[in-house]
């Protein structure tokens, strides 16, 4: 019997699987990010929570690969954006316009990070950690 296992094939399958998961997560993030920038097009935080859970669950599978940086990038992006949205929410209660401006800036920053991550992933490049 031939019990030789082709490790390169397994690594290639794992890399492709992680890339597929990454694309699904990025697309969910992108839908939320675009909706956040377009007034009245809110799709809700549900998609973002699903994407965050996917990233948290699959992050350990990507350890030691270039894709690990993408999981960290997406997780940090969501956590920082959430933090800034919560911190600036009182501006809506006190003065609407500053709150709207702050949320627009956060939303554009969020969209930028998602697009940057997608471009780097498409090129099979890691992101800064």
- pLDDT digit string (tens) for the chain, length 129 residues: 455 544 455 578 888 899 999 999 999 999 988 887 776 666 777 888 999 999 999 999 999 999 999 999 999 999 999 999 899 989 878 888 888 899 889 989 999 999 999 999 999 999 987
Does residue 45 fall inside a structural domain? Answer: yes
| Residue 84 is assigned to a structural domain of this protein | yes
Q: Which residue is it, tokens 């350990």?
A: 60
> Is the residue at 4 inside a domain?
no
Count of CB atoms situated within 10 Å of the CB of 15: 15
Phi, psi of 40 (to 5 degrees): 80, 5
Q: What is the pLDDT of residue 5?
A: 44
Q: In the structure encoding, which two tokens stand for residue 110, read together?
A: 């969020």
Predicted model pTM: 0.83
CB 47 within 8 A of CB 27: no
7 in a structural domain = no
pLDDT at 9: 53
- Residue 30 belongs to domain spanning: 14-122
């Amino acid at each position: 019997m031939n019990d030789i296992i082709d490790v390169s094939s397994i690594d290639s399958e794992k890399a492709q699987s992680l890339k597929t998961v990454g694309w699904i997560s990025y697309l969910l993030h992108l839908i939320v990010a675009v909706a956040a920038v377009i007034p009245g097009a809110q799709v809700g935080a549900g998609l973002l929570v699903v994407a965050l859970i996917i990233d948290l669950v699959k992050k350990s599978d990507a350890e030691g690969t270039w894709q690990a940086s993408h999981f960290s990038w997406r997780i940090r992006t969501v956590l920082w954006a959430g933090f800034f949205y919560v911190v600036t929410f009182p501006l809506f209660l006190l003065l609407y316009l500053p709150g709207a401006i702050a949320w627009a800036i956060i939303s554009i920053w969020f969209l930028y990070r998602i697009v940057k991550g997608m471009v780097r992933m498409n090129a099979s490049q890691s992101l800064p950690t």
